[in-house]
Every structure is written in C-alpha cells, then in structure tokens.
Structure 1
Amino acid sequence: MPLTVEEYQVAQLYSVAEASKNETGGGEGIEVIKNEPFEDHPLLGDEYSNGQYTYKIYHLKSKVPSFIRLLAPEGALEMHEEAWNAYPYCRTIISNPGYMKENFYITVESLHVEDDGESENNPTYMKKNFTITVETFHLDDKGTMENVHRLSEEKLKEREVVNIDISNDPVRNTDYKAEEDPSKFKSEKTGRGPLQGPEWWKKCEPVMTCYKLVTCEFKWFGLQTRIEKFIMDAQRRLFTNLHRQVFCWIDGWHGMDMTDIRRLEDATKSELDEQRHSGAVRGTKSE
C-alpha cells in the first residue's frame, strides 16, 4: 500500500464506511447496532484494552453461493460481527447465533505496527467447528519479511503464501471500476499514483505491506472442502477490492482525523438503515 501506517487507520475506517453503503439495499446489507468507546477489555494479553467497539449485523442472501442458499434455512444467512478496535490492534468476531450458534466463528486479529524489528505476534487458533483467524500486520516495508507471524516450523510447512498486488492482480469483471483501478488513478491531493509496472512498490514512497495470516476450519459433513475454498476465495476477493478502494479513495479521506471519521460513521449508520429497507440489492454478489 502506498500509505503510512498512520494514514491507514483513517483510510481503512473511511473505506469500510463507504463500502458498507455500496453493499446495502433491498433488504440486504449492513446494520450497525453499536459504535461506542470501550475500556478495560484486555486484548492481546493486557497490552491493549481501550478503543472503539462496534456491533454489526450482516443481512446476506445474494452474497453467498447458490448451493448455500438452497441448504440454509431462514436466519442462517444473518451474520453478527463484534469488533474491538484498539488501534493499532483490533479483534473481530463473526458468528451466526440464529442457526449455527457455537459451531460457527470467524475471528479476525489485526495488528498494525512500525517496521522497527520488534514486531511480535503469537497466533491463536480457535478449535471450534468453524473458525477463521485472520491476523494482520501493517508494516512500513516492501513485503520482504518472511515470517512476520512468528509461525513454528511445522506451521510454516503448512502455510501457503499469497501475494496480493492491488494494481496488477486481476479482479472480476463484476467488481471492476475504472475509477478504482490503482494502475490508472492519480491522487490530486497527494500526487500519488498511478501504480504502474511490476513491483511498483519498489519505486514509491511511502509504502507499507499488509501481512495477513488466514486459517480456516469448517466442520459440516459433505461441505467442508467447498466451504473452505469459498471462504479463501472470498477473503482474497475482499482484501483485493477493499485495498484498491482504500488507495483510490485517498482524495476523500486524506486530511481527515478520527473526529471526522466518527461523524462519518454516525451519518453512515442512518444512511444504512434507510438503504436497507428500500431500493434494490446492491454491491458484491456471489456466483
């Protein structure tokens, strides 16, 4: 990413708010239940304990594969998300209390750190019937760190490294927008971009890398392989599209501070409530 770690905090929150509006309409999308400060909620040991808590419900129908829609009863396509954002650390837990209950969990662990040679991470693997753990580092480097997640030798042998290049990687035709193409976009505010050529990150400043560790477990007889593949494909699609937007929307968020972001989130909540109950289904659809 052609950003600093400090810029990314605002950029990500701005982009999540804007992307939420693009994904909400016609009875589907995102409902924000709570968005408030929290204190004394220990995260990553006791290192982080204060920040912003959000509780959202994702109303999904067209955004999951057709074979899941055929199998899933009413309520099964409603996901609940709780997030404790103590930037630079954030923990997100997604569940499906209406159907799968304790058998479904997605856990996202994110840590944003400077590349000072002291990055630490002790991955936690939840042993439930369904678990995804995503642990994220955002570092001011050019993607050269081999084991930022401090995996054991055993885990390193199992790990598959997937590099995501927000400028050169292909996106689906249904996802592509010329104005969100980093290879074509140039920021008026910062002069950054377009991001062109192989290994463009070696030729631009600032630059940071998002290191993500994704582990997935799913236990549902007859569907494990298909669901795990769908999850991994969906994660890559999400990471690619969102981070293309984070950069190409830079003229929208650059210069904002966290007070501006909270105002935007409040306004977005009201807009999502209105959009969800009117109009047509919007945004990403599964094939």
Structure 2
Amino acid sequence: MVLTKEYRICMPITVEEYQIGQLYMIARHSLEQSGNGEGIEVVENSECVDPKHGKGRFTEKRIHLSSRLPYWIQAMIPKIFYVTEKAWNYYPFTITEYTCSFLPRFNISIQTTYENNNGCTDNSLNLTPEELAERSVERLDIAYDEVTPKHYKEEEDLRFFQSKKTHRGPLVEGWQDSYTPIMCSYKIVRASFEVWGLQTRVEDFVQSCVREVLLLGHRQAFAWIDDWIEMSHEDVRQYEGKLQVQTNQLVQQSAPSALQVSLQTAACGDFDAISDGCSIGSTPSITPNSPKSPAKKGYFSWF
C-alpha cells in the first residue's frame, strides 16, 4: 500500500511572486546543503514542452547524502549513494520524481499546484474518489511548526522576522486565517518501498524527511524575500546558473563522478539495480502521467 499525504503550506506572498522566490530558494538552499562530496549535483536544466501543460523546465539532479541517513539505512546501502530527482516545472503545476541508485523498488512522486488562497481548496489536484479516500491532509505552519534544531536560525524565525522591503511579518499565531497576501502550496506526496520487513519504517521515514524539507524550504523562501523580491525572471535564472556551478564544484571536489560510481557498482554485480533505479545519462523527453496508486508492486511515488 502506498503512503499518500497531502501537505498544504501557506506563505504571505502571491503565487506570481513565488515563481521567483522558489527558484531563488532552491538554488541557495542547494548550495548551503552541499560540501565534502555530498549535496545536490545538477545534471540537466533545460526547457521542455508538454501537450497539456505547455512550456516548462526540466531538471535532473543527483542528491548525494550517504552520511546524512540514519545508521539503520546506512547499514543497507553502499558507501557511495545518491538519489536521482527529476522535475517538470510547468508553474504553477509541477511534477517531481525521486528514484534511488541502489534500491530500484524505492520511488517517490510529488505533484504540486499553487493557488492564491489559504489552503481552503479541498481537491486542488483533482484526485479520484479512491485517492481521496486514502489521502491524509496535513497543514504546515511556516512560523509555528518547529524545524529541527540543526536547521534553526534566529534570522529565519518568522515569529519575529519582518521584511524590510515589503514590511510583511512578523507572523502572529493564526496568521493564515486573515493575512494578505497569502498563497498555498498543495503537494500530494506518494511514498512506497516494496521490501518486506522494511516497508512501513522506510515509508514513514521518507514522509518525515519530506515534511522537514517542505517546512524548511517554504520558511526560507519567505525569510529570504528581501534578497529576491526585486529580481526579474532573467535575474533569478542567472543567479540559479551561477549557484549551480558552485554547487556542482562543492559536490565533486571530494567525490567520484556519478558515472564513475555507477561503473564501479556495476563491476561489483549491481548493474540491474542501477539500471532499474535510475538510468545514467538518459532523460525522459515526455512528462510522466499524473501519478496514481500503483497497479503493481515496486512502483513508489513521493514529493
């Protein structure tokens, strides 16, 4: 059974503003989380076109994170380990998929849409009655839900933060009920790990990680608003490109390239796991269909 959750995250900005803020936040967050051979390696960032959604942006990234996993997971995986992220951004609608370089039965998919409201839309991603029946909804409060101590920064505490350029904030308790402007990120996260004895534990761990990433990312997007609010689309794309180069350098400084890792693993007899888990050097040209509950074991979807 796939673990399906819908997260609703409100922010005191508009959907139009967040198109810039999201790109800025992801680029900066990726750089800050990278170093010592771990972090986020950008493989591709290019335009794409979909018959239904129109023009968009396709990105492929490799997330190197072995030492950041709990010990009970580290014991099951190779020393060099990464997750592949493929994302299709047709803002304000996006699809993101995650697969694993070592665990082909691990797969996460996330569908997202953004609306200028406070999270009041009951079925913003047009789920079927069957999907609605298995969905659980959690609202995240970027000001009053706590991030882990290692991620806490006083200057990003939105209970006290006020933007100098927009004068938005601080956010008082219950702010989502009356604040303007306000927007909501609606995210359907499907997670599945079809390995007997570990499925529930891994799926719960994945959802907890997704929750933390969503909370921290949206929190930072608003906390950094003075850095991006005056940027144009061209400005933020240039910023994104510059930071992607820096991020890749940090990841690659003390780690073998992803291709070298793949060849080394294949030589040890794990080629099938690699080829099933993520295709090295290949990029799908077609946007995946909207994820539904898996028709067979082995399909896993998340954020």
TM-score, normalised via structure 1 length:
0.80
- CA shift, 1:139, in A, is 1.0
Q: Deviations over 1:230-255 (max 9, x none)?
A: 01111111111111001000001101
Cα distance in 2, alignment partners of residues 99 and 202 from structure 1: 44
- 1:30 counterpart = 2:35: no
Cα distance in 1, alignment partners of residues 45 and 127 from structure 2: 34
Cα distance in 2, alignment partners of residues 135 and 34 from structure 1: 20
Corresponding position of 1:227 = 202
User: Could you list the runs of 5+ residues in structure 1 that have no partner in the other structure?
Assistant: 108-133, 280-287
Cα distance in 2, alignment partners of residues 94 and 214 from structure 1: 11
Query: Are the aligned partners of 2:12 and 2:182 in contact in 1 as well (CA < 8 Å)?
Result: yes
Cα distance in 1, alignment partners of residues 126 and 93 from structure 2: 17
Q: Deviations over 1:98-128 (max 9, x none)?
A: 4234x23222xxxxxxxxxxxxxxxxxxxxx
2:237 partner SS: helix
Cα distance in 2, alignment partners of residues 148 and 217 from structure 1: 23
Give the structure, 1 or 2, with the largest relative contact order (CA under 8 Å, sep 6 or more): 2
- CA shift, 1:157, in A, is 3.1
Change (3 A) 1:181 1:269: same
2:97 to 93, 96, 99: 93
Corresponding position of 2:236 = 261
TM-score, normalised via structure 2 length:
0.76
Compare the two structures and name the one with the higher helix fraction.
Answer: 2
- 1:104 counterpart = 2:106: yes
Q: Which amino acid aligns with 2:88?
A: W
Query: Within 5 A, what are the aligned runs for 1:1-287?
Result: 1-39=11-49, 42=50, 46-75=51-80, 77-96=81-100, 98-101=101-104, 103-107=105-109, 134-197=110-173, 199-277=174-252
1:82 partner SS: strand
Cα distance in 2, alignment partners of residues 34 and 22 from structure 1: 20
Q: Which amino acid aligns with 1:104?
A: F
2:150 partner SS: coil
Cα distance in 1, alignment partners of residues 58 and 133 from structure 2: 36
Corresponding position of 1:117 = none
Cα distance in 1, alignment partners of residues 129 and 237 from structure 2: 42
Query: Are the aligned partners of 2:108 and 2:189 in contact in 1 as well (CA < 8 Å)?
Result: no
Cα distance in 1, alignment partners of residues 96 and 126 from structure 2: 21
Cα distance in 2, alignment partners of residues 240 and 7 from structure 1: 18
Cα distance in 2, alignment partners of residues 28 and 68 from structure 1: 17
Change (3 A) 1:55 1:149: closer
Query: Are the aligned partners of 2:84 and 2:98 in contact in 1 as well (CA < 8 Å)?
Result: yes
Q: Which amino acid aligns with 2:76?
A: L
Cα distance in 2, alignment partners of residues 36 and 150 from structure 1: 28
- CA shift, 1:151, in A, is 3.3
User: Could you list the runs of 5+ residues in structure 2 that have no partner in the other structure?
Assistant: 1-10, 255-303
2:67 partner SS: coil
Q: Which amino acid aligns with 1:185?
A: F
Q: Which amino acid aligns with 2:171?
A: L
Cα distance in 2, alignment partners of residues 14 and 164 from structure 1: 21
Cα distance in 1, alignment partners of residues 235 and 118 from structure 2: 30
